[in-house]
Structure 1
Amino acid sequence: MIVEKQVPLQAHNSFGIVAKAHHLARIRHEDDLAALRADPAWAALVREQPPFVLGGGSNLVITGDVKPLVLKVEIAGKRLIEETPRGWLVEAGAGENWHGLVQWTLEQGWPGLENLALIPGTVGASPVQNIGAYGVELQDRFHSLDAIDLRSGERFTLDAAQCGFGYRDSVFKHLPTDARDFGLAGRALITRVRLLLPKPWKPVLGYADLERKMAETGNSAPDARTLFDWICAIRRAKLPDPAVIGNAGSFFKNPTVTPEQCADIIAREPKVVHYPMPDGTVKLAAGWLIDACGWKGRGVGNAGVYEKQALVLVNRGGATGGEVVTLAKAIQTSVYERFGIRLEPEPVVI
């Protein structure tokens, strides 16, 4: 196992922020981590700081050179484990591209992931964030995952309940508060993810953008491939391509409020975009709140708010992580002062 030194990370984070990893190891198989741990240099590298697990870097803001050992997850492979009357059980390596997996399952005739098309990042990062879009979250298709404990080197498997999924949340985003807490932030490296694509397949519709597509095309019963194509077109029209304009997709979570809080905001802002949730709460569109505060198109230094979607922060060229964080904090302050709502960022800041 070769640990590379002073590795440029600009190509490994979708914001395109210039930074270096002091040390980086590429994990292409589970045994690579075992070999790395057996190297006497491992203890020296992780003694002061736990290693940092890096997937596709699509949910990351780098504020400087990364001192912890970076474990770049590049585990590949896709396969069908079994087909049953319940559905197709599919497994993918953590280093596989998420959108590539969505495309591959559709090509095999296994629908169910089409609503999650064009979400950037790797398969291994998908359960960490519990990615979601257009009415489907990863937890709706999740079966189980394999991971390695970075402290002990032991391999383990988690099911959906053990992952503690929430809105853009999981056990992998929480630090343990005591010996009984199962928080796994900084403690685990996901190696493989299994998804159950259910039978019979049913389209998940109901979002305004999809309703417009149905009206435009006259197709009220799209098949999985059509729904995939629609969602790709919608996302490409709204969101910048990271290969062209550096960004991390949606930067803030959509906040949820009580019906009473929502009614109070509607009384002041009748046009606020909101969605009633099954649990009785109301989800507000963070992009609408940011836009209402006048941030669309504005920026701090070389970091800006995307002109077509206020929920997306972009690198206009040469932006630093510090500029992105400063811009995000300014937006949070504006939204809180106007609406009394604290926006929570999605990306990890390192």
Structure 2
Amino acid sequence: MFQQNIALKPFNTFGIEASASQFFAFQDLDSLQLALKHAAKAPLLVLGGGSNILLTQDFDGLVLKNELKGIKLLNETNEHFFIEVQAGETWHEFVLTAIANNWAGVENLSLIPGTMGAAPMQNIGAYGVEIEQVFDHLKAVEIATGELHEFKHSDCQFGYRESVFKRELKAKFIITSVTLRLNKTPDFNTSYGAIQETLDTMEVNDLSIKSISDAVINIRQSKLPDPKEIGNAGSFFKNPTIDKLDYEGLKAEFPSIPGYQLPDNKVKVPAAWLIEQTGWKGKTFDNIGVHKKQPLVLVNYGGGQGAKIRDLAFEILDSVSTKFGIELHPEVNII
């Protein structure tokens, strides 16, 4: 059923007060296709968990809330499980389901907010793992025609925190299900960040996908604010990649600048370090600010306006560009 003038505060983890002129929640494919016919050429905004958007104004169009549910074992081989997950499933709940069933490969991605539908769109990643590493295919409805299409790994053109759905096909498809290829034999990844240190602190002797998941959850909870307590959308900025020669030049000027070597003579520089060095960490401005523990995270302490958070983000971008000559880019979708 279509609803009019619906408040969107419950549907975005920033907790921004905004409204939609029309709102429709769909639980099956037929309902989605009917809604698209009804919408005609009205502006569309598709919401999953609302954990990767910043609303800066009321939305004068149709908000479609993805509530497709279901997790299904499609097939298995000697080495893999092929699991189809409906796009409205909460990502972390799916990870817990995978762990309970000994489906390995997503344990390092524990506690990432959002839904399954947004996961391949963003190519979510953490602690040395990205979803593209376990991705098999997805299904998506074309907004213009209502037709269902299948996208294989190569079709998605995955990149760092992006895919074809954030570029050429942006706002042209609605992802309805994702099929992942998970492992029967775990390939433990504990070398990234503080995972091994945390496992040692936890006195884990028998390594498992559950113990890695528990370690990642502990790390994330110690560094990142809970959106239920402080409005936020997780990491607001992507970690930039720069040429190795440029990095070496910055290293000469700023000896403590960290960097992670990538292929093709590229270096990834932690955006959190850049933001902290420009003095933004922990800064507050009325009821918004930069988180005191993690400068990648912009926060709404209550009653903050999305437009002011956007302006703060752009000020941070300017500061980093001025000091280091590095262009940061938002990971969050600004609407």
Tell me whether the two structures share a fold, i.e. TM-score over 0.5: yes
Q: Secondary structure in 1 aligned to 2:104?
A: coil
Q: Give the match for residue 128 of structure 2.
A: 135
Matches within 5 A, 1:13-92: 13-39=12-38, 42-43=39-40, 46=41, 49-92=42-85
Question: TM-score when scaled to structure 2?
Answer: 0.97
Q: Are the aligned partners of 2:103 and 2:184 in contact in 1 as well (CA < 8 Å)? A: no
Q: Give the match for residue 209 of structure 1.
A: 194
Q: Give the match for residue 5 of structure 1.
A: 4
2:212 pairs with one of 224, 227, 236: 227
Matches within 5 A, 1:96-175: 96-174=89-167
Q: Secondary structure in 2 aligned to 1:25?
A: strand
CA distance in structure 1 between the partners assigned to 2:36 and 2:206 by the alignment: 52
Q: Secondary structure in 1 aligned to 2:59?
A: coil
How many residue pairs get aligned? The number is 335
CA distance in structure 2 between the partners assigned to 1:117 and 1:214 by the alignment: 15
CA distance in structure 2 between the partners assigned to 1:326 and 1:96 by the alignment: 32
Q: Give the match for residue 224 of structure 2.
A: 239
CA distance in structure 2 between the partners assigned to 1:255 and 1:196 by the alignment: 29
Q: Are the aligned partners of 1:50 and 1:186 in contact in 2 as well (CA < 8 Å)? A: no
Q: Secondary structure in 2 aligned to 1:201?
A: coil
Deviation at 1:218, TM superposition (A): 5.6
Q: Secondary structure in 1 aligned to 2:233?
A: strand
Q: Give the match for residue 309 of structure 2.
A: 324
Cα gap change, 1:220 to 1:327, in 2 (>3 Å): farther
CA distance in structure 2 between the partners assigned to 1:273 and 1:111 by the alignment: 31
Cα gap change, 1:69 to 1:217, in 2 (>3 Å): closer
Q: Are the aligned partners of 1:300 and 1:326 in contact in 2 as well (CA < 8 Å)? A: no
CA distance in structure 1 between the partners assigned to 2:276 and 2:103 by the alignment: 38
Structure 1, unmatched stretches of 5+, are: 175-182
CA deviations over 1:231-258 (Å, ceiling 9, x no partner): 0000000000000000000000000111
CA distance in structure 2 between the partners assigned to 1:155 and 1:75 by the alignment: 15
Q: Secondary structure in 2 aligned to 1:67?
A: strand
Deviation at 1:336, TM superposition (A): 0.5
Deviation at 1:184, TM superposition (A): 1.3
Structure 1 runs of 4+ aligned residues shifted over 4 Å read: 217-221
Deviation at 1:132, TM superposition (A): 0.3
Q: Secondary structure in 2 aligned to 1:35?
A: helix
Question: TM-score when scaled to structure 1?
Answer: 0.93
Query: Are 2:284 and 1:291 aligned?
Result: no
Q: Give the match for residue 330 of structure 2.
A: 345
Structure 2, unmatched stretches of 5+, are: none
Query: Are 2:266 and 1:273 aligned?
Result: no
Q: Secondary structure in 2 aligned to 1:69?
A: strand
Q: Matched residues, percent identical?
A: 42
Q: Are the aligned partners of 1:58 and 1:121 in contact in 2 as well (CA < 8 Å)? A: yes
